[in-house]
Amino acid sequence: MKTNTPNLFGLSVAELQDVCEGAGLPRFRGEQLFYWLHNRGVETFDECMNLPKTLRAELATSFRIAHPEAVTEQHSTDGTRKFLLRLEDGRNIETVLIPSESEEAGQPKRLTICVSTQVGCPLDCRFCATASMKLKRNLTPGEIFGQYLAVQKRSASRVTNLVFMGMGEPMLNYENVMAAAELLTHEKTAAIAASHITLSTAGLADGIRRMADEGRKIKLAISLHATTDELRLRLMPINKKYPLAEIIDAAEYYHRLTRRRITWEYILFDGLNDGVDDVRRLAKLTRRVPSKVNIIPFHPIGAAYPDGMPMQLLSPPRAHIEEFAQRLRDVHVTVMLRSSSGRDIDAACGQLAVREGAREGQTRRTRAPHSDKHSEKHSDKRGDIPTADAAGKEASTPSGLDRHNPHP
């Protein structure tokens, strides 16, 4: 495949119409291409059967179709499936397919795909394996949408729900994430309804307000995980820029404009955020807007930190998790107690990519250490891999990000 030709996968109808017009083709060919690329998921132009054969040959000469490639798949006994996808530049990302515990006619009522939005992440949350990767780059709309397409092709059942909750912070790749959401909800893709899509953020208040201002129809979830700024800062350094008061203010603004309920995500850590006082504070915080709380058991990630985790974190016993949830219900908080899906595989965010990256890195060092160093220097010069300082700047200034980060 020619990698120096433009990739048409992931472009909107309007963008494909412009491409066709620029190539001297009628604009309606853009709509046809959009359907074949994003509904049928074709991998070659020869598969676009309602296009003339000569046109298909011309398109293959000038353009390409590139999808994320599924290279590894893990199966859990609970039905969870985790996929490692390889991008054109050789980087790896993760996608997880999670069946609901509730069933209908012997099948899960919901089949949810959790997709990544960045390669790595700059936020350095202490409980996330992806944090050990740091930020490499943003994903393009096609690389985000392509995760859904790759997994749907490998699933006998229809994917019903999607969460932007995988590797990366969606608000730091806002433009591309929203472009991917528009691909997913477009009438010609027939993929997933906006009401079945949720964006999960670590609490970047500027992005929350922007979603409200733009009238985005997808749902919002906010990762809270602590009821005091002191603990939240220890768990999530981004709390320095966006403390609890700022997040709550943005949540109230979001609800005033959208009238939509918010989901608060709360991972329980043994002895840290699971006490009676936490129940009281969490109930007070979440009552500020119509919302529900997702209680999430902590999924151990020690393998991502061979030299030791930045914080020693443990999950409480199951009985204590259920007691915490019930205490919230007793004070009239709507609570969903999530199971820890895929505990017998690398299902926690970033685990599989980190493990694979470590294995590949060891192989490269063994085979060609000098070539590897040269390659890293070359990548930095192109700006493909942000430095640690650059990643930190991106984390603190989401409005200044490059929203479209195509392959070099």
Q: What is the pLDDT of residues 278-288, one digit of tens each?
A: 999 999 999 99
Residue ranges of domains in the chain: 13-62, 69-354
Rounded average pLDDT over 214-238: 98
Query: Among 94, 143, 265, 394, which one carries the catalytic annotation?
Result: 94
Question: Whole-model pTM?
Answer: 0.84
Does pLDDT of 347 surpass 90? Answer: no
Query: Among 114, 125, 128, 349, which one carries the catalytic annotation?
Result: 349
Stronger pLDDT, 212 or 381, i.e. the higher one: 212
How far is residue 369's CA from residue 362's CA, in Å, rounded to a whole number? Answer: 10
Catalytic status, residue 175: no
Rounded average pLDDT over 382-408: 36
Q: Find which of 74-83, 141-150, 305-314 is predicted with most confidence, using mean pLDDT.
A: 141-150
Does pLDDT of 358 surpass 80? Answer: no
The sign of the CA dihedral 81, 353, 398, 18 is negative
Stronger pLDDT, 383 or 211, i.e. the higher one: 211
Catalytic status, residue 356: no
Does pLDDT of 378 surpass 80? Answer: no
pLDDT of residue 318: 94
What number of helices (H) and strands (E) belong to the chain? 13, 14
Q: Domain 13-62, what fold?
A: DNA polymerase; domain 1 (1.10.150)
CATH class of 69-354: alpha beta
* Helical segments of 198-295, H only: 205-213, 229-235, 244-258, 276-286
pLDDT of residue 107: 76
pLDDT of residue 86: 98
* 190 — pLDDT class (breaks 50, 70, 90): confident
Does pLDDT of 332 surpass 70? Answer: yes
For the stretch 229-238, contacts whose Cβ atoms lie closer than 8 Å and that sit 24 or more positions apart, written own/partner, are 231/272, 231/273, 234/126, 234/311, 235/125, 235/126, 235/127, 235/269, 235/272, 235/311, 236/123, 236/125, 236/126, 236/202, 236/203, 237/123, 237/124, 237/125, 238/123, 238/125, 238/202, 238/203, 238/204, 238/395
Stronger pLDDT, 300 or 236, i.e. the higher one: 236
* 377 — pLDDT class (breaks 50, 70, 90): very low
DSSP 8-state symbol, 81:
E
Stronger pLDDT, 129 or 142, i.e. the higher one: 142
